[in-house]
Structure 1
Amino acid sequence: MSSTSVNQHTTISHERRSTRSLTSKSSSESTRSTSSTRGRRRSASPRVSFSSSKLSPEPSGVQNITRKVIRKLEGLGHVDVIEVDENDNDSNEEKEREDSEMGEVAQSLLNGHGNGIASIKASEQSKAVQTKKNGEKKKIDWEIPRKLLHSSIGFFTIYLYLSQGSPRNVIIVLWSSLCIIVPADILRLRSPRFEKIYERALGFLMRESEKHTTNGVIWYILGVNFALTFYPLDVATVAILILSWADTAASTIGRAWGSLTPRLPSRILGLPLAPRKSLAGFLAASFTGAAIALGFWGWLAPIRQQASDVSWRWAEGVTLRGAQSGFGGWIGLGVIALVAGLVSGVAEALDLGSLDDNLTLPIISGGCLLGFFKLLTMVSSWLA
Structure 2
Amino acid sequence: LCIIIPADLLRFHLPALEKVYERFLGFLMRKNEKNSTNGVIWYILGVNVALQFSPRDVATAAILILSWADTAASTTGRLYRPSSPRLPSHIPLLPLLRLKIPPTQRKGWTGFMAASLTGALIAVGFWSCIAPVRFGGAEVSWDFVKGVVVGSSGMIRGGGSEGGVLKGWMGLSVLSVVTGLVSGVVEAMDLGSLDDNLTLPIISGGCILGFLKFVGWIGSFWTS
Q: TM-score, structure 2 length as denominator?
A: 0.89
Take 1:250 and 1:367, find their aligned partners in 2: how far apart are those partners? 20
Cα distance in 1 between the residues matched to 2:13 and 2:106:
31
Structure 2: how far apart are the matches of 1:306 and 1:223?
28
What is the aligned partner in structure 2 of residue 205 from structure 1?
28
Deviant stretches of 4+, over 6 Å: none
1:319 and 2:149 correspond: yes
Larger RCO (CA within 8 A; separation ≥ 6) = 2
Of 248, 270, 284, the match for 2:114: 284
Residue 181 of structure 1: aligned partner: 4
| Aligned mates of 2:171, 2:83 — CA distance in 1 | 35
| Cα displacement (A) at 1:383 | 2.1
Q: Note the residue ranges of structure 2 that are not aligned, 5 or more in a row.
A: 93-99, 151-155
What does residue 346 of structure 1 align with?
185
Correspondence for 2:201: 362
- The SS at the match of 1:259 is coil
1:4-19 residue pairs with structure 2 within 5 A?
none
> What do you get for the CA RMSD once the two structures are aligned?
1.1
8 Å CA contact 1:323–1:377 kept in 2: the answer is no
- Is 1:224 paired with 2:60? no
Q: Considering fraction of residues, name the structure with more helix.
A: 1
Secondary structure at the counterpart of residue 346 of structure 1? helix
Alpha-carbon shift at residue 344 of structure 1 (Å): 0.3
Asked if structure 2 preserves the Cα contact closer than 8 Å seen for 1:259 and 1:278, the reply is no
Distance in 2, matches of 1:272 and 1:189, equals 32
SS state of the match for residue 304, structure 1?
helix
Deviations 1:312-344 (A, max 9, x none): 111110111326542100110000000000000
In structure 1, the residue corresponding to 2:58 is in which secondary structure?
Answer: helix
Equivalence for 1:334? 173
Contact 1:216–1:358, Cα closer than 8 Å, also in 2: yes
The alignment partner of 2:2 has SS state of helix
The Cα offsets for residues 193-230 of structure 1, whole Å up to 9 and x where unpaired, read as: 21111101111111111111101010000000111111
What's the CA shift for 1:306? 4.2
Distance 2:42 2:222 in 1: 41
- 1:82-124 Cα offsets, whole Å, 9 max, x none, are xxxxxxxxxxxxxxxxxxxxxxxxxxxxxxxxxxxxxxxxxxx
Letter in 2 for 1:235: V
Cα deviation 1:299-318 (Å, max 9, x = unaligned): 11122234211111111101
What is the rounded CA distance, in whole Å, between the counterparts of 1:296 and 1:192 in structure 2? 45
Q: What letter matches 1:280 in structure 2?
A: T
8 Å contact kept, 1:258–1:278: yes
Q: With structure 1 as the length reference, what TM-score do the two structures score?
A: 0.53
Paired residues in the alignment total 207
1:244-301 Cα deviation digits (max 9, x unpaired): 0101111111101122110112211111110101111111000000000011111111
SS state of the match for residue 274, structure 1? Answer: coil
Q: Tell me, yes or no, if the aligned pair for 1:227 and 1:239 is still in contact at 8 Å.
A: yes
Distance 1:382 1:304 in 2: 29
Question: Residue type matched to 2:88 in 1?
Answer: P
The amino acid that maps onto 2:215 is: L
Matches within 5 A, 1:127-138: none
Q: Which residue of 289, 304, 313 maps to 2:134?
A: 304
Contact 1:261–1:278 (8 Å) recurs in 2: yes
Determine which structure has more spread, i.e. the larger CA radius of gyration: 1
The answer to whether the 8 Å contact 1:311/1:318 transfers is yes
Is the contact made by 1:182 and 1:218 (CA closer than 8 Å) also made in structure 2? yes
Can you give the 5+ residue segments of structure 1 that lack an aligned partner in the other structure? Answer: 1-177
Q: SS at the partner of 1:378?
A: helix
